[in-house]
Amino acid sequence: MTLRRTLTIAALLTPGLGLILVMVGSVFYIAVAQSFGYYNLSGESAFSLDHWRDVLGSKQFGRSLGYSAYIAIISALGSIAIAYPLAIWMRKPFRGSLVVGSLLKAPLFVPGLVAAFLFLNVIAYHGVLNQFLIWTGLTDAPIRFQNDRNGFGVIFLQLWKNMPLALLLLTGAVQGISDEVVDAARDLGAGPLARFRKVIAPLTVQAMQAALIIIFIGAAGDFAFQVTAGPTNVQSMAQYMVFLKTSFGRWNQAAVVGVSLMGLALVGALGLAGLARLTLRGLKW
């Protein structure tokens, strides 16, 4: 590639990609600088490690970090586990497959906050689920499902919202595998599980990695599902960051949590993607 062609491509990408890089880079720079004491909105701006020391020494930060990682990991792996069988099932068109695919992908077009409130109407103390349980005689009194301590409600919402995205990515990858490859594996005696382990999964690993990364990052930084259906005994990282900002204007400590959340998203997403590839290498043998 000549220098002129390289400069032409760079110039064409600059209006879009350059703007994105400037905006994302400026936000990242301000967050990092603010976590070290600069851009202080409620005091003197000067370099300091006190904000990091205060946040990292807080038990609440450790609980929030562990909780966000727990929600993100379960959401990412669970979405992939549900989407893979559906993608394989829909690999070849069948009567009604278009309708089934549309229904499965419908959650992509429902705002998360709307889904959370609909979910609350179902599991509320006097909601649809409790009314059904009482009507069938399975319980004599309503059961409190809302804001459970283990975050199962948040995980359900994350799976409901993110599984269609994983299905969208995996379906395209699975449909890209030629019938000759699958038929050859079947002729050699490979059963359904063996064909998945040694043929389908290795050939779709890049789509799976993309889905894991996108879902993990989104679930780790979730705020809407947590504040509506999440447990009250622990805060997510995003929720904790907002709490620090609104309580006495601790912007610098909120920036520390924000930078830590970026680190969690980066390390966790790349870690899951790398673990998936290593696992598939082992499954091939």
Q: Is residue 236 within 8 Å of residue 71, measured between CB atoms?
A: yes
Element (H, E) at 14: none
What is 40-77 written as a DSSP string? -SSS-----SHHHHHHHT-HHHHHHHHHHHHHHHHHHH
Question: CB of 104 within 8 A of CB of 164?
Answer: yes
SS3 of residue 126 by DSSP: coil
CA dist 281 and 193 (Å) reads 15
Q: Do 235 and 67 contact (CB within 8 A), yes or no?
A: yes
Look at residue 228 and give its three-state secondary structure.
helix
Tell which residue, 80, 83, 88, has the closest CA to residue 105.
83
- Tens of pLDDT, residue by residue over 57-71, are 999 999 999 999 999
Please tell me the predicted confidence (pLDDT) of residue 156: 93
- Give the whole-angstrom CA distance, residue 57 versus residue 70: 20
Note the pLDDT of residue 137: 83
Question: What's the rounded Cα separation, in Å, for the pair 30 and 34?
Answer: 6
- Decide: 222 and 153 in contact? Cβ < 8 Å: no
User: What's the CA gap between 254 and 251, in Å, rounded?
Assistant: 5
Residue 223 corresponds to which tokens in the numbers above?
């705020």
Pick the closest to residue 222 from 170, 273, 153 (CA basis).
Answer: 153
Amino acid residing at 236:
S
Q: What is the pLDDT of residue 48?
A: 86
Tokens found for residue 109: 């077009």
The pLDDT, as a whole number, for residue 47 is 85
Pick the closest to residue 77 from 283, 276, 281, 278 (CA basis): 276
- Tell me 199's DSSP state: I
**Distance of alpha carbon 69 from alpha carbon 234, whole angstroms:** 13
Question: What is the C-alpha separation between 81 and 181, in angstroms, rounded?
Answer: 23
Please report, in angstroms and rounded to a whole number, the separation of the first and last CA atoms in the chain.
40
- Rounded Cα distance between 226 and 222, Å, is 7
Quick one: pLDDT at residue 283? Answer: 55
**Which amino acid, 42?**
S
Per-run averaged pLDDT (10 residues), the chain, 285 residues: 78 78 85 87 80 91 94 95 92 86 88 87 85 86 84 93 94 88 82 84 90 94 90 91 85 92 93 85 58
* Contact between residue 254 and residue 239 where contact means Cβ atoms under 8 Å apart: no
CA distance 230 to 71: 10
Residue positions counted in the chain: 285
pLDDT of amino acid 1: 57
pLDDT mean across residues, the chain: 87
